[in-house]
Amino acid sequence: MTLSTRCLNCRKRFEVERNQEIAECPHCGSKWRISWVDADQPKVQGPA
């Protein structure tokens, strides 16, 4: 199952590894802190 969230900078979706806490958007290079709504749903919490 591919897990993804939306980048707040470029608004494109990008993939995130399960339980990953910091992620970089491959489209625009923005770095985000990631929180998990549940085991399958990541979201951007704020800038890293």
Partner 1 sequence: MVLKRKVAFVDLTKEKAVVEEIPVELRKMHLGGRGLNWYYLYNNIPPDADPLGEENILAVGSGLLSGFPALGAGRAQISAKSPITGGVGDSNMGGAFAPQLKYAGFDHIIVKGRAKRPVYILVKDGEIEIRGAEHLWGMDTHETQKAIREEIEDDRAESMVIGRAGENRVVFANVMNGIKNSGGRSGLGAVMGSKNLKAIAASGSIDVEVHDPENLLRYALEVDERARSTKWAKTLGRLGTPLLYDVSYTTGFIGTMNWQYNTPGEDGSPLEAENLEKFGVKMVACIGCSVHCRHRVKIREGKNAGLTTEGPEYAAAGAFGTGVGIYDWEFVIKGNAECNRWGVDIISMGTTVAWAFELFQRGYITEKDTFGLKLEWGNEEAVLELARMIVEREGIGNILAEGFRKAAEHFGEETLYYANQTKNHPNLLTDERGIPSFALGIATSTRGADHLRSRPGIDLFQLPEDVLESIYGHKIVSDFTAYETKGIMVWWHELLYNIVDSLGICKFQTVFNSANSPKFEDYIPLIKYATGIELTKQQLMEIGERNYTIERLFNVMNGFSRKDDYPPERYFREETKRGLPFMKGRKLDRERYERMLDEYYRQHGWDENGVPKEETLTRLGIERPRMNFPEIERAVDVRKR
Q: Which residues bind partner 1 (CB under 8 A)?
A: 6, 8-9, 11, 30, 35, 37-38, 41, 43-47
**Smallest gap from residue 24 Cβ to partner 1 (A):** 15
Nearer to partner 1, 19 or 41 (CB): 41
Burial 1-39 (b: 16+ CB within 10 A, else e): eebebebeeeeeebebeeeeeebebeeeebebebebeee
Nearer to partner 1, 17 or 45 (CB): 45
Nearer to partner 1, 17 or 33 (CB): 33
The percent helix, strand, coil of the chain (3-state, each to 5) is 0, 50, 50
